[in-house]
Each structure stands twice: as C-alpha cells, then as structure tokens.
Chain A
Amino acid sequence: MAYSDKVIDHYNNPRNVGSLDKAKPTVGTGVVGAPECGDVMKLQIQVEGDRIVDAKFKTFGCGSAIASSSLATEWIKGRTIDEALGIRNTQIVEELSLPPVKIHCSVLAEDAIKAAIADYKAKQAEPVSAPEASKS
C-alpha cells in the first residue's frame, strides 16, 4: 500500500496516544468499529466549559486508521464541541490523501469524535453516576 507521507508520519509518530480516566464526568469516550472488521478506535475527550482541552486515542487497525484517529485528536484539541462536530471525514481523506479503499477509516474517525461527544453529553445530562459499561 503506497501511503502518503502524512499517513506514514502519523503512523510513525502518532499524536495524543493514551487514555483519559473514563470515569470522570468531564471525559467523553467513544469506541467505534469492531475487531472482526479490522478496526477499533477509542477516542477520548476532556471538556472544560464547551471546549475540548485534551484528546487521546488508541487504535487497532491499519496504517490509515491509526493516522485518521491521530489526526482527529490533533484537530479537536482546543476546539469547541460544536466545532469538533463540524469535522467531516472528507476533510480527513483530503488531509491524509487516503486512497479510495481506505475512506472507511476516515468515516470511523468522524464516528469516534461523535461517539466521544455523545458520551460526554450523556454524562452531563445525567450527572449522578457514570454507567458501568462505558464502552458504547
């Protein structure tokens, strides 16, 4: 697979790898994909006010899946929730020059951002206690 230099750079030096404390009410966690499909992305955000102050990811997947999620964390850090929700997979495709067969990796990254924000919003709506299984 001939990848762009940007994909290779994200693969070799992934940004924001790691985990945030998913039990915290200010942390939203999104896990999307499935092992059977060959990609699982976990993307986490830490929110202060309406701004994403930190983002972390871990990805099981091909080089473009790793690059897409790494790029996603880079892009959402420092943005407001609404700005992050405005990120489209096509922007990721363009930035990383993903080949057509890898477009689903960018879709997954967009889904991961949305899932993390949805999880954060759910926690805010119901601040009593975090649900036991916070995987979905």
Chain B
Amino acid sequence: MKLPLYFDYQATTPLDPRVLEAMLPYFTEEFGNAASRSHPFGWRAEEAVEHARAQIASLIGANPKEIVFTSGATESINLAIKGVADMYGEKGRHIVTSLIEHKAVLDTCKHLEKQGFEVTYLEPTTTGRVTAEAVEKALRPDTILVSVMWANNEVGTLNPIREIGALCHARGVLFLTDATQAVGKIPVDVEADHVDLLCLSGHKLYGPKGVGALYVRRKNPRVRLTAQMDGGGHERGMRSGTLNVPGIVGLGRACEIAREEREQDYRHTSALRDHFERRVLAEVGHVKLNGDPEQRLPNNSNLSFAFVEGESLIMGIKDLAVSSGSACTSASLEPSHVLRAMGVGEDMAHSSIRFGFGRFTTREQVDFAVDQLAAAVKRLRELSPLYEMAQEGIDLSTVKWQSAH
C-alpha cells in the first residue's frame, strides 16, 4: 500500500484518468480559443465547450443554455449572490442563508451587508440541517434570495432542498444552492428540486481544479444576473473571460462519468464509510458522530474523539490524509463554524476529524486507517488529563478551568 492514504475527498478529488485523457488534446493540438469564430481552431474548441455544457446540464437536469462556466464554486457563488443582489436590489434588499454555509457564501453575504443588504443567517438543527420551516419563518416581503447549501462540506448533512425550493417558488423568491459537495454523489434535478441557481466545482467530482459552473434558470422564472467581471461578454454576458477549454472539457467528462457511475460510486463509498464507522465505534470508545446519521452524503464521516485534541490526533495518524474541525489546524485558530452553529461543544469540536471516502478508496485502505486511528487515540488518551479525570469519575463539565484565553 502506498502511503500516505487519502481520506480527504471533500477537500478535493484526484482526477479520473478518463477525464485526463479527454482533456489532453485541448492543451496541445486543439488549442483554439472558443470565442474565435473565423477559423476551425475556434470552431472545434467551441464545439468541445458546447459538448461539455450538455454533459453538465444532463447531470443536473438542466438545459445546456443554463450553464455558465466559471473558475470554480467560489466564483459561481460570488457571481450568483452578487449578480442577484445587483440585479434585484431595487426589488428588495433581504437575503436568507444559513450559518453552516461555506465561507464563499458567508463572506459574500458579509460583503453585501456592508452595501446595505440585510442578511438572515439561519441556525441549523443539532444534526446540521436547515429546515424549510426555518426558511419560511425568515422570508419577508423584501427577500430576494435564499441561499442554502445542498450538502455540508464538513459534516456531510443533506438539506431538504426540494422542500426549500418549492417554498421559494411558491413565494416568488430566487433559490440558490451551493451543490459543490452534492453533485455527482446524490441525485440532483434542478426542475424537480425547484432550484434557480446552482454552483458546482470540477475538482470535487474527479475533474480538474480551476473550473466550475453556475446553473442559471432560464424559464419559470427567468433569472437575470449582473455580471461581476467586465470584458468580452462571454457566457451570454454573464461571465467575461476566455474559456478554459481543457478544464471545461474535463469538467464535462467528469460529469458524464458521474452520471453513468453515480449509483455505483454511492454504493462503493457508503459501504466503505459504514464499514469504517462500524469498526471505529466498536474499537474506539467515546466517539460521537457529528451530523445527521440518516440525511447525509454517502462518503462522509465526521467524528469527535472525546478527550483527544484533533491536531495531535492528525499528527498521530500521519499516514492518513484527513482534515479536522479543530482550531489548531487552521490559520485562524477558530474552531469549525459549522460544528459551533450545530451546538457541538467547543471541546468536541476540537476533537473532530473528517474522513472522506471516494471512487478510488479500497477496503484495505479503510482497515489500515482504522488500525492506525485506534492506536493513536489510545496513545493520546493515555496522555490526556481529561481522559484520566473522566476515568476517575469526574464530570468535566463541572470542573472550573483556569484559562488564559
């Protein structure tokens, strides 16, 4: 087994070799600019882009004309939220979103607040779900946009998108969903799910980095966006800039594979994830699952290991590439805003690790991971004063801690 092993599929995925194969010609012989209308180099590039557009549209139940290419989900989110705010700001200045969104959504909303927009940040349930009832309560006559992510990137919880979408459509409010983690893993159908704007990213579904897409509904209702970048008026005026043809070809192929193999990927990753959790829960005590045990992505497992701090645990499982909700692994020293919003105690947030499973994960890798994880937790608990206190029967919540910060 080649070490380290990759268990961070939510952060990024390896490129599927079939995707790479599709992309390669577009770096070399097929180098044309898709906007060149005067010669075959341009025509062939445009043809490749349109083929990719159709592949993406097909995965999410959209019309190809509703797909706008971007540099990734962050740009798609910025374009969607700022584009709607600029276009519909006269109609209303209220936006509804949730506390568990990705920073790309939260920081874009913060930016708009400085420009006089009002934003309601919905609290999730303790399992990390944003309910349609919560959205409904937050709607106001001047609400122009609801933005709720499809699947959370930390805990993997799925939101009731269809319900929220139906509610927004009934109330005449535009509905944006950041589906970066969901597309390719679970069924996504912008029609049935009443989605008006949807963001996705190439590198989360075995495609290349630096390319993503924004779905913009054209009918019932027709969504209009103010472009956020001035230039040649590419992408029906919504996103100027020469198209990243090899990236787009890769994204298209990745979406096609996802459409064909989604159910197989689902079975594969959920079986590995369930095997992993069964073993961890049986072999390592005092483990808590963060997120919703039912409504979640098939490939995500976010666990808190009581009495052990996340960063030191990551050091202990040095052959496993994972990420932590602990403050100590981030530059900001802030523990995960998602776990905090869910009401997970800061001590358990510091002890959380996110494991991700993917198309290329094997059962052998998972078993290796559990073995190394169990050994590291055991060792760190022997080192932990909190574990010792708990063993002595002390209730940690009643202890008066001396804290410098």
Tell whether A36 pairs with B312 under 8 Å between CB atoms, given A31-B402, A59-B385, A111-B404: no
Asked if residues B311 and A40 are in contact (CB atoms below 8 Å), the reply is no
Asked if residues A19 and B404 are in contact (CB atoms below 8 Å), the reply is no
Q: Mark A34-74, 1 if CB is under 8 A from B, else 0.
A: 11111111100000000000000011111101100000000
Asked if residues B329 and A1 are in contact (CB atoms below 8 Å), the reply is yes
Show the binding face of B for A, using Cβ within 8 Å.
307-309, 311-312, 315, 326-329, 331, 333, 335, 345-347, 350, 382-388, 396, 399-405
- Residue A104 at the chain B interface, CB threshold 8 Å: yes
Q: What are 16 A-B contacts with C-beta separation under 8 Å?
A: A1-B328, A1-B329, A3-B315, A19-B388, A31-B401, A33-B403, A34-B402, A40-B386, A40-B401, A60-B307, A60-B308, A60-B309, A60-B384, A62-B312, A104-B404, A135-B399
A9 → B minimal CB distance (Å): 12
The interface residues of chain A lying within 8 Å CB-to-CB of B346 are 35-38
Asked if residues B312 and A35 are in contact (CB atoms below 8 Å), the reply is no
Asked if residues A1 and B311 are in contact (CB atoms below 8 Å), the reply is yes
- Residue A17 at the chain B interface, CB threshold 8 Å: yes
Asked if residues B309 and A101 are in contact (CB atoms below 8 Å), the reply is no
Show the binding face of A for B, using Cβ within 8 Å.
1, 3, 8, 11, 14, 17, 19, 31-42, 58-63, 65-66, 101, 104, 107-108, 111, 115, 135-136
The interface residues of chain A lying within 8 Å CB-to-CB of B329 are 1
The docked-state distance in angstroms from the alpha carbon of A14 to that of B335 is: 26
Closest to A43 in B: B385
Asked if residues A58 and B347 are in contact (CB atoms below 8 Å), the reply is no
The interface residues of chain B lying within 8 Å CB-to-CB of A108 are 404
Asked if residues B396 and A35 are in contact (CB atoms below 8 Å), the reply is yes
Asked if residues B385 and A38 are in contact (CB atoms below 8 Å), the reply is no
The docked-state distance in angstroms from the alpha carbon of A31 to that of B400 is: 10
5 closest Cβ pairs, A-B complex: A34-B401, A35-B347, A42-B385, A36-B346, A62-B311
Asked if residues A58 and B405 are in contact (CB atoms below 8 Å), the reply is no
The docked-state distance in angstroms from the alpha carbon of A38 to that of B315 is: 15
Please tell me which one of the listed residues A35, A58, A111 contacts residue B350 in the complex, with CB atoms under 8 A apart: A35
The docked-state distance in angstroms from the alpha carbon of A62 to that of B309 is: 6
Asked if residues B404 and A17 are in contact (CB atoms below 8 Å), the reply is no
Residue picked from A58, A62, A63, A111, most chain B C-beta under 10 Å: A62
Asked if residues B400 and A135 are in contact (CB atoms below 8 Å), the reply is yes
Closest to B400 in A: A136
Asked if residues B384 and A101 are in contact (CB atoms below 8 Å), the reply is no
Please tell me which one of the listed residues B327, B399, B402, B404 contacts residue A38 in the complex, with CB atoms under 8 A apart: B327
B87 → A minimal CB distance (Å): 41
The interface residues of chain B lying within 8 Å CB-to-CB of A107 are 404
The docked-state distance in angstroms from the alpha carbon of A38 to that of B312 is: 10
The docked-state distance in angstroms from the alpha carbon of A3 to that of B384 is: 21
The interface residues of chain B lying within 8 Å CB-to-CB of A11 are 312, 315
Asked if residues A63 and B383 are in contact (CB atoms below 8 Å), the reply is no
Asked if residues B311 and A36 are in contact (CB atoms below 8 Å), the reply is no
Given contacts A34-B402, A108-B404, 9 further A-B contacts (CB under 8 A): A32-B404, A40-B401, A59-B383, A59-B384, A60-B385, A60-B387, A61-B309, A135-B400, A136-B402
A24 → B minimal CB distance (Å): 16
The interface residues of chain A lying within 8 Å CB-to-CB of B383 are 14, 17, 58-60, 66
A37 → B minimal CB distance (Å): 6
Closest to A135 in B: B399
Asked if residues A101 and B385 are in contact (CB atoms below 8 Å), the reply is no
